[in-house]
Amino acid sequence: MDKLMNEIHESVVTWMKQIELDFRNGKYSTFNVDTKVDYKDLVTDSDKKIEHYFSTSILEKFPNSVILGEETYSPNKDYSKSDLLWVIDPIDGTRNFVKQAKDFAVMVSVFYKNEPTHAYIYDLAADVLYYAVEGKGFFVNSTQIDTVEDKPLQDSFVSIDYPSLQISQGIRDFVSEAFDMRYIGSAGLDGARVAAGDFGAYVCKTLQPWDFAPFFLISKLLGLHMSNFDGAPLTLTKPDSFILCTEAIYGSWKKYYV
C-alpha cells in the first residue's frame, strides 16, 4: 500500500512538472474557446489536451484506475465503486485562463476505496503547488502546513462568489461581519488560500465534484470544516453548494445561514 501511495505521488508531481514545462514553452498559449451552458461557461482545447495527457498517463501507469474528468464526465456512471479513482479538473478557473492567463489551477485528486489519499492544486502561472498526501500532510511547495489558525470571522478575509451573495440576507450579513471580502474565481485557488491560512472561508453557491474533490483530504488533514450550505457532507455524485472554513467561522455561518 505504501509503495502504491508513493508511486502515485511521484507520478503526479512528474506530470505536473511536464504540464508546467509545456505551459512555459507556449504549448497552451494559443487555444480555441467554446461555450457550454452560456457565454460565461467556457472550455478551451487546452482543457481537453491537459485532461487527455493526465488520463493517458494515469492509465498507462495505473491501468486499473477509473477517471472522473471534467471534460469526459458521465452523469450516468457510478464512480463510487472504483478502487482507485482519479478526479481531474484540467483548468480550474477557465475564465481566468482565457482572459488573463493567471489565477487558474490544474487539479488532480485520488481516492482509494472511496477514501481520499492525494490532492493536488497547481497554480500554474505562479508555479505554486498545493498538495496533500494521506499520512504525510499538507504542503505549499516544500513547506508543510500542519494547522490553520482558527481565527474568528471578524479577523478573516472571506472569499465568496457573487451568486452566493444573492441567496439570503443572512449570507450578506455573514460577509459584512468578515474583515473583508476577496474572490479569485478559481475554486481550487480560493480553497487553497483557506488551507494556507490566507482566507478564513471560501463560499460558493454551486461547485461540481471536480471543483471540490481536493478538499476532502485537505480539510481532513487541517481540521477545516467542509460541507454544503446546510451543513451536510459533500459527495462526488453531484454538484452542490460549498463552504470551506475554520471551525470558528462555521459557528458564525450557522448563526447567519443554517
Residues 118-168 have pLDDT tens digits of: 999 999 999 999 999 999 999 999 999 999 999 999 999 999 998 999 999
Task: Please check the confidence at residue 31 and state whether its pLDDT lies above 70.
Answer: no
pLDDT average, residue stretch 233-241: 94
What per-residue confidence (pLDDT) applies to 118?
A: 98
Distance between CA atoms of residues 98 and 88, nearest Å:
19
Helix 45-61 and helix 2-24, axial crossing angle in degrees, nearest 10: 150
Residue the block writes with cell 483530504: 217
Cα separation values, 110 from 100, 141, 204, 214, 249, Å = 29, 19, 23, 8, 28
- At residue 33 the predicted structure's pLDDT band, cuts being 50, 70 and 90, is low
User: Could you tell me the pTM of the whole model?
Assistant: 0.93
What per-residue confidence (pLDDT) applies to 28?
A: 75
What per-residue confidence (pLDDT) applies to 30?
A: 60
Task: Please check the confidence at residue 61 and state whether its pLDDT lies above 70.
Answer: yes
What per-residue confidence (pLDDT) applies to 87?
A: 97
What per-residue confidence (pLDDT) applies to 46?
A: 84
Cβ 151 vs Cβ 200: under 8 Å: yes
According to DSSP, the β-strands at 42-44 and 33-35 are: antiparallel
SS (H, E, C) the chain: CHHHHHHHHHHHHHHHHHHHHHHHCCCCCCCCEEECCCCCCEEEHHHHHHHHHHHHHHHHHCCCCEEEECCCCCCCCCHHHCCEEEEEEEEECHHHHHHHCCCCEEEEEEEECCEEEEEEEEECCCCEEEEEECCCEEEECCEEECCCCCCCHHHCEEEECHHHHCCCHHHHHHHHHCCEEECCCCHHHHHHHHHCCCCCEEEEEEECHHHHCHHHHHHHHHCCEEECCCCCCCCCCCCEEEEEECHHHHHHHHHHCC
Distance between CA atoms of residues 243 and 217, nearest Å:
15
Task: Please check the confidence at residue 42 and state whether its pLDDT lies above 70.
Answer: no
pLDDT average, residue stretch 206-210: 96
What per-residue confidence (pLDDT) applies to 181?
A: 96
pLDDT average, residue stretch 104-112: 97
Task: Please check the confidence at residue 38 and state whether its pLDDT lies above 70.
Answer: no
Q: State CA 130 to chain mean position distance.
A: 10
pLDDT average, residue stretch 22-40: 68
pLDDT average, residue stretch 238-253: 97
What per-residue confidence (pLDDT) applies to 243?
A: 98
What per-residue confidence (pLDDT) applies to 111?
A: 97
What per-residue confidence (pLDDT) applies to 24?
A: 86
The percentage of residues in the chain with a pLDDT greater than 90, rounded to a whole number, is: 78
Q: Which residue has the higher pLDDT, 1 or 202?
A: 202
- At residue 37 the predicted structure's pLDDT band, cuts being 50, 70 and 90, is low
Q: Name residues whose C-beta falls within 8 Å of residue 76's C-beta, 6 or more positions apart in sequence.
A: none
